[in-house]
Chain A
Amino acid sequence: MSQFGDAIDFILHSREARSGGTNVGGAELLPMLWKHLELTGVSVGIAVALAVPFGLWLGHIGRGEFLATSVANVGRAVPSLALIAFFVAYIGVGFRNVTLALVLLAIPPILTNTYVGVRQVDRDAVDAARGMGMTGPQIVRRVELPLALPLVFGGVRTSVVNVIATAAIAPLAGVVTLGDPIIAGGVYGEDGRLGAAILVALLAVAAEALFAVLQRAVTPRGIRISQTPQARSHRGFGIPRLRRQTST
């Protein structure tokens, strides 16, 4: 168990690297943390910018169910390591290439959830909006998007956690994230490896919790009120509340 103590010591205090010369651990981990966050933020940001409008459009016109589900299925089947390796071998190392790979990884959950989110919006509400004279874009913006937001955020949340996990292998492609002590254990030692693993795990859990709060915040009040006690009892830690509704 003392290994965990040493790992926490590595997180808190910097020391000389095993290979000598440079210092590692403690404050030296901060640039890695920023790089990790930057990579995650940029990748998920691009994925959201691409997948949310596309998913909204597909859901609005009610087509592309096959596309939305197959993207999800294929996206799950591709191992993140293989994806990164493919980019390294065929396109090369560097921040931009890793970002591209992570964008590809982040798109499927966001696209599928946005699509499903729009499709599960009550058709009566859409008809009512149309009856009030709203145009297509207005319906998307003022009815379908707000009602789909909780599920959209659910997708973003999945992507963020996935990307944080995968960014840990980014050092293989020359981007020094928190995964560097994990991958290059020889330089940082076992303490560094375990310490970085703890940090990556904490980061993922923190992101998950943050997005759980955000997801709750963006849920329209109407949906929140219509939650039955039975449905509420299913609302666990990581479960968007709408899942129960979409299942009926």
Chain B
Amino acid sequence: MLAQLEIHQRAGNDSCVASNGFCPSWIAHNIDRYLHPFWQHVYLSVIAVVLGFVIAFALAVLAHNRHWLVGPIIGVTGVLYTLPSIAVFFLLQPITGRGAFTALIALTAYTLLILFRNIVTGFDNVPAETVDAARGLGFTDRQVLWRVEVPLAMPEIIAGLRIASTTTVGLATLAFFAGAGGLGGEIFADITFKSNVVVAGALCLLLAIMFDVVLLTAQRIALPWQRAQTAAGPRPRRLWREARVMD
């Protein structure tokens, strides 16, 4: 089956393509072939992370007041996170059919553990005195959440979003198994052709880096006080924080 795909796809008869090399001219001619899968990849990743964030945030707010919920939620999302994505794409198909919907369910499920854990850690790291001070000023619970806790938890929340987005870009390369397209389909279509693999792989990496840069920029804009701190004192343990949230 692979051989057929190769013949079908590897259009162009210059010697570089025939000898399966790294062919800049082939890439220049065929780059538009990757555009549609690239946008599918963007779509899958963005929707999955946004959906995952909404769900994880809601769960974190819920568990914030009922701390006993943290363990069970991490347990359930942990099992979801453990299941290999390629298996889940096929396990879901008898239930939800083939297509982007199935892929999105799986991809969203994978973001939950990372996001939930980071949001909860962020809330926990808010100093109790700050919350007390806000209460003393007459803030309601809702105001404490949105005006004190969420802003102060933002570094952890964004660290979680960064991990979730890069992971999701990686997992979405397998989403074509669920019939959702994406750059993985291009990689798979001609896995022995060097030019193809390099272009499709590089686009995935580029996408992951792009998400990371966007989120870092968002963090800089949203948290101006953090920058001031960094400039004033010794570098805080920011890198550490990122390392820590990794398993």
Contacts and interface: CB of A to CB of B under 8 A. Distances in A.
Interface of A: 1, 3-4, 65-66, 68-69, 72-73, 76-83, 85-86, 88-90, 109, 112-113, 115-116, 119, 154-155, 157-158, 161, 164-165, 168-169, 172, 179, 182, 184, 186, 193-194, 197-198, 200-201, 204-205, 208, 233-240, 243, 246-247
Contacts of B197: 82, 85-86, 88-90
A210 to B, nearest CB: 12
B157 to A, nearest CB: 14
A164 B86 CA distance: 11
Interface of B: 1, 20, 67-68, 70-76, 78-79, 81-91, 93-94, 113, 117, 121, 124-125, 163, 166-167, 169-174, 177, 184, 187-188, 191-194, 196-198, 200-201, 204-205, 208-209, 212, 239-240, 242-244, 246-247
Chain B at the A interface: SS class: helix
Contact of B70 (A88, A158, A234): A234
A205 B191 contact: no
A89 B86 contact: no
B240 A77 contact: no
Contact of B83 (A69, A82, A155, A205): A205
A133 B70 CA distance: 43
Nearest to A120: B244
Interface centre among A69, A77, A200, A204 (most CB of B within 10 A): A77
Contacts of A119: 240
Given A72-B243, A109-B247, 9 more contacts: A79-B169, A81-B173, A81-B188, A90-B194, A113-B247, A184-B1, A194-B90, A204-B83, A237-B79
A158 B170 contact: no
